[in-house]
Structure 1
Amino acid sequence: MNRFPIWKGNRIGRYDDRLILRSVIFFALIITALSAFVIRLTEGNILLRIFLLFLIVVLYLLDMLYKWKSGNMTDIRNRQAMARMLLENRWFETEPLRQSRTGGRMERIIYFPALYYRRKKRHIYVTVKISMGKYQDKLLTLEEKLETGLNCELVKKDTRDIWVKYEFLTGVEKNRIDIQDVKAKNGELNLMKHISWKYDKLPHMLISGDTGSGKTIFLLIVIKALLESGAVLHICDPKKADLSFLSRIMPDVHYDTESIMECVEAFYEGMETRYDEMQEHPDFRMGANYAKVGLTPHFLIFDEYVAFMDTLAKKEWEEVMKLIRIIIMKGRQAGYFIILACQRPDAKYLGDGVRDQFGFRVALGSMSASGYTMMFGSIDKQFKEKDIAGRGYVNTGNGVVTEFYAPYVDPGYDFFTELSRIYEKRQQEGEACDRMYENGSETAGEE
């Protein structure tokens, strides 16, 4: 029978609810035994006895310090907490034995769930055996209890044969990266050390967050990385706020209603034209995407999408929704991707399953329970609130909602200057390529 190809870890036993006490007693017995042996061995030498007893105490303290630094003490505490979870919820099977002298009924545990614990650095792995017993449903949805009890975040859940494996991460904020480390290449945009948006496989991004949540800064971070990668950007900012200032340094930035509607329509037409170009390309094969034939990705970045739709007449917003829906359904293979940002993902403008088609969904700042449900659907998760700019929750397309920290940006960082520099560099590189192409054409003509 195939199992996970790695060691599952320590099995949680029925007596592990007192694991800390057992560990203390075990070490106390070892110290007592060693002390008794030293006393007997050094009956005639008091100084040697004192030295050896002192050495034992020092070694014991060093061992305790090592266990605390390496996380072994945390492992013991976590294993004890998991054992108590199983026992207090009575997720085991028993059989009666006999009545006790006090009139109580005695029972014996005949089945205890196969639950394993393992830790590697800041990653905690919990593996559960699927037994088809009466507590199976509880054991297959442990993420909420373990996240709260072990102070960690679920980052992956995998089922293989008769095993379900949970992977948690402690200290998620330590995986936050700097804006300079955010890069888009090979169809992937890294946003944390363990989180990236793989837009070639899971296209389109949906961002939500109230004022002050860091939503605009996050959009600028994404714009900077995509601009550096050579992608073509189409930016819409109906509130004529921060993103609209980019019109001073780059084309295709729109902020009035008519211009935004024209931008969406042009983006849709560009996608349809791209499919014709791909099919005529000599390297095109069935199933190949835009990158296989050397084409550049396009991104429609739409801030305050819901607020913009609220300003339109019904006929107009229905037309915009129709185009957005088609782009979302067809854009991946052609390399046409949408990034929508709003304060709340209103189902009115993201209905008919469109919201579920966004491969990367991130909610920044604090949201109500209904807000999280609108973003991620109904899930068993305890959302925590922390007053940290750029913090929130994300679903990267793997069905797991986990804590997220947007890349760190220094308070003095000047986006306008940096984006101007990147765009000018792109223009210079494009002009240089054009000159090389012209020179090559002239040389071929002379020959």
Structure 2
Amino acid sequence: MGFLKSFFGFRGFKIGNKDKMTLPLEVIILSLPFLGFWFVFFWFTKAYTTPATWILCVVTGLIYAFGVVAVYRQLQKFSFFRVLKYRRMLRFFLEENGYVTEKKSKNKDAKRKLKYVETFFSYKDRAYIVTFGLKGNKHQQKLLKISGDLEITFSLDMIDMIDETGYINYKFMSGLLDNVLKSSEIAGTPKGGLQLMKDVVWDYIGNPHLMIAGGTGGGKTVLMRSMLIGLLKYSVVDILDPKQSDFVPLNEIPVLKDRIFSETLEMGQRLIDVKSFMDQRYGQMRKLSKAKKEKQMEAFHTYGLKPYFIMVDEFPSFMSAVEDELGFKMGRSAEERAPISSMEVMSAIKQIILKGRQAGIFMIIATQNIKSDDIPTTIRDNIMTRVTVGRLSNTSYDILFPNSNKNFKYIKEIDGRRVFGMGYYGVNGESPRQFLSPQMPPAKDFTFWDAYEAMPRLELETEEDVVVSYTKQEFAEKLGIHPRTLGEITKLLVDREFELSKELNDGDLSLFERIVAFKNQTKSTWQEAVVNEVGEKFSVVED
């Protein structure tokens, strides 16, 4: 199959000697009209004998040359011409870095021919794909680590690396600004994740928990506040703010009232309470799973439970305060000791990180430049999603994205436009990609305060709130009837103005069981069974 793809060009253009040319093809094509005009003009008018004509030729030639350059730059906006340019750049890269061998010829005067390592270049869905054939060649190890060098060569961002038998594919993307969202546009769903860019979704169920790293002024706080815009629409969020600065004022807004904690003792106690709530939620889920007779327990959203996020700003600072104020210290009397210990808080954090995913409880921790001892390894390794914004040290990148071939760089401008919140997004163990955090709309049109004030306050479900709901297939199986029959009964009830729940649950089960039982015992029709239970027209009788 690999041979067929290669032979018929399914992998894209094969890079080789044909891509070597002194001038870009576009420049040659654009120059032809000028050259043709002056050739005809000189030949038929014999103008080459006049000095003034030579001066005119040089001046107009320079003007035309500037025009060709301007048009050439505009042509780069079109994918066809960009592909031509990148093919030439890739050919030059391969030759300069020794990914070629010279074909030997018996004729000493023969033109030098080079054989390039098997390389293909293609463009699809706004992405550029470079494919290398491996098959055990001498360049194999270098080709597996070439992505960073290609990023620099193309000035593009590598977003994916795809392995297949005999080939390695590197996928690059441009147009970062086209994918950025405004803070007011951030949205998500309980089971679909939170959208951070048009083409970036934090899948917190598949890759639970999030670590945000950003230097001073890098845009970390704006990113976190933008995320709140999306999360508060369908989930509950608690915020721990040890600096007592960026989030504490939001405690006055109804949607976040009593959900922002800043004192060390109350922050530690909150995490312990969250761990207890997680254990309680698992008990609810086991109960619901058993009621639905499932072979194994599903994720939280299957049972109608809301996601629950705990956002911790300046996590290393919080950890230091917990150790200092809640840790065991020699010489402290029993009265001086805190009611909770740092060990209890650390245990709660680890349990939430390790077990929270299925119960729908997720942590978002933020820090500045990160050192290896800032966050315990057990916690760091189980935070699957990482985001950086602004300027970070090389050490921070190595800790957040280990074993990555990425050439991390701090970018202030893109295409002449100043950008804020520029960084990288990635999943632990995968190659990161460039990321641009949501941008603030104009102040006259939007403020975070106004956006939060407009949001309804959601509450976490208590045990009494949780009811067992069923799909139509599951409900029909419990009744021992066909789903089409269930639909027929439902229509008969609706025709008689009987209001059913949006989702079939245990509250509806007894009614349907009585209808089915009457039908089976009397051998009547379904219409007669429904009429016997609710009458010809259902109505509420007031006392």
Which residue does 1:232 correspond to in 2? 236
Q: Distance in 2 between matches of 1:407 and 1:6?
A: 39
Which residue does 1:342 correspond to in 2? 367
2:322 alignment partner, SS class: coil
Which residue does 2:447 correspond to in 1? 414
Which residue does 1:181 correspond to in 2? 185
| Post-superposition offset of 1:276 | 1.0
Contact residue 391 and residue 403 of structure 1 kept, 8 A: yes
**Compared CA separation, residues 25 and 210, structure 1 to 2 (3 A):** closer
| Post-superposition offset of 1:320 | 2.6
Q: What is the letter of the counterpart of residue 368 of structure 1?
A: S
Which residue does 2:511 correspond to in 1? none
Which residue does 1:258 correspond to in 2? 265
Instruction: Indicate yes or no: 2:86 matched with 1:78.
Output: yes
**Compared CA separation, residues 136 and 311, structure 1 to 2 (3 A):** same
Contact residue 365 and residue 389 of structure 1 kept, 8 A: yes
Aligned pair partner of 1:423 in 442, 447, 456: 456
**Compared CA separation, residues 348 and 29, structure 1 to 2 (3 A):** closer
| Post-superposition offset of 1:22 | 6.1
1:190 alignment partner, SS class: strand
Which residue does 1:9 correspond to in 2? 12
Q: Provide, for residues 267-298 of structure 1, a one-character-per-residue CA deviation record: whole Å limited to 9, x for no partner.
A: 11111111111111023551511111111111
1:242 alignment partner, SS class: coil
Contact residue 390 and residue 406 of structure 1 kept, 8 A: yes
Aligned pair partner of 2:163 in 156, 159, 163: 159
2:211 alignment partner, SS class: strand
Instruction: Indicate yes or no: 2:301 matched with 1:291.
Output: yes
Which residue does 2:248 correspond to in 1? 244
Which residue does 1:54 correspond to in 2? none
Please identify, of 4-13 and 176-185, the stretch whose mean Cα deviation from structure 2 is larger: 4-13
**Compared CA separation, residues 174 and 19, structure 1 to 2 (3 A):** farther
1:338 alignment partner, SS class: strand
Please identify, of 387-396 and 356-365, the stretch whose mean Cα deviation from structure 2 is larger: 387-396
| Post-superposition offset of 1:262 | 0.6
Q: Distance in 2 between matches of 1:19 and 1:269?
A: 70
Q: Distance in 2 between matches of 1:364 and 1:175?
A: 16
Q: What is the letter of the counterpart of residue 292 of structure 1?
A: T
Instruction: Indicate yes or no: 2:213 matched with 1:208.
Output: yes
**Compared CA separation, residues 395 and 19, structure 1 to 2 (3 A):** farther
Which residue does 2:517 correspond to in 1? none
Contact residue 268 and residue 322 of structure 2 kept, 8 A: no
Contact residue 359 and residue 397 of structure 1 kept, 8 A: yes
Instruction: Indicate yes or no: 2:427 matched with 1:405.
Output: no
Instruction: Indicate yes or no: 2:331 matched with 1:306.
Output: no
Q: What is the letter of the counterpart of residue 115 of structure 1?
A: T
| Post-superposition offset of 1:141 | 2.4
Q: Provide, for residues 81-122 of structure 1, a one-character-per-residue CA deviation record: whole Å limited to 9, x for no partner.
A: 101111111113446556959xxx99764x522211122464
Please identify, of 145-154 and 123-132, the stretch whose mean Cα deviation from structure 2 is larger: 123-132
Contact residue 20 and residue 80 of structure 1 kept, 8 A: no
Larger radius of gyration: 2
Count residues in correspondence: 414
Please identify, of 375-384 and 308-317, the stretch whose mean Cα deviation from structure 2 is larger: 308-317
Any gaps of 5 or more consecutive residues in structure 2? 41-63, 329-340, 413-418, 460-464, 466-498, 501-506, 509-538
Please identify, of 91-100 and 187-196, the stretch whose mean Cα deviation from structure 2 is larger: 91-100
Identity fraction in percent? 25
| Post-superposition offset of 1:203 | 0.6
Q: What is the letter of the counterpart of residue 203 of structure 2?
A: K
| Post-superposition offset of 1:27 | 7.9
1:133 alignment partner, SS class: coil
Please identify, of 4-13 and 84-93, the stretch whose mean Cα deviation from structure 2 is larger: 4-13
Which residue does 2:401 correspond to in 1? 376
Please identify, of 277-286 and 361-370, the stretch whose mean Cα deviation from structure 2 is larger: 277-286
2:232 alignment partner, SS class: helix
Q: Distance in 1 between matches of 2:373 and 2:319?
A: 10
Q: What is the letter of the counterpart of residue 354 of structure 1?
A: I
1:275 alignment partner, SS class: helix
Q: Distance in 2 between matches of 1:258 and 1:6?
A: 65
2:278 alignment partner, SS class: helix
Which residue does 1:42 correspond to in 2? none
Which residue does 2:527 correspond to in 1? none
Q: Provide, for residues 386-424 of structure 1, a one-character-per-residue CA deviation record: whole Å limited to 9, x for no partner.
A: 233211111145712111111111252322222122035
Q: TM-score, normalised by structure 2?
A: 0.67
Please identify, of 266-275 and 316-325, the stretch whose mean Cα deviation from structure 2 is larger: 316-325
Q: Distance in 1 between matches of 2:540 and 2:243?
A: 51
Contact residue 204 and residue 339 of structure 1 kept, 8 A: yes
**Compared CA separation, residues 363 and 96, structure 1 to 2 (3 A):** same
Q: Distance in 2 between matches of 1:392 and 1:298?
A: 26
**Compared CA separation, residues 148 and 317, structure 1 to 2 (3 A):** farther
Contact residue 211 and residue 365 of structure 2 kept, 8 A: yes
**Compared CA separation, residues 204 and 21, structure 1 to 2 (3 A):** closer
Q: What is the letter of the counterpart of residue 168 of structure 2?
A: V
Contact residue 401 and residue 429 of structure 2 kept, 8 A: no
Which residue does 1:40 correspond to in 2? none
Q: Distance in 2 between matches of 1:268 and 1:150?
A: 48
Q: Distance in 2 between matches of 1:112 and 1:179?
A: 47
Q: Distance in 2 between matches of 1:382 and 1:89?
A: 18
Which residue does 1:366 correspond to in 2? 391
1:191 alignment partner, SS class: strand
Q: Distance in 1 between matches of 2:274 and 2:224?
A: 19
Q: Distance in 2 between matches of 1:89 and 1:67?
A: 29
Contact residue 196 and residue 396 of structure 1 kept, 8 A: no
| Post-superposition offset of 1:259 | 0.4
| Post-superposition offset of 1:256 | 0.3
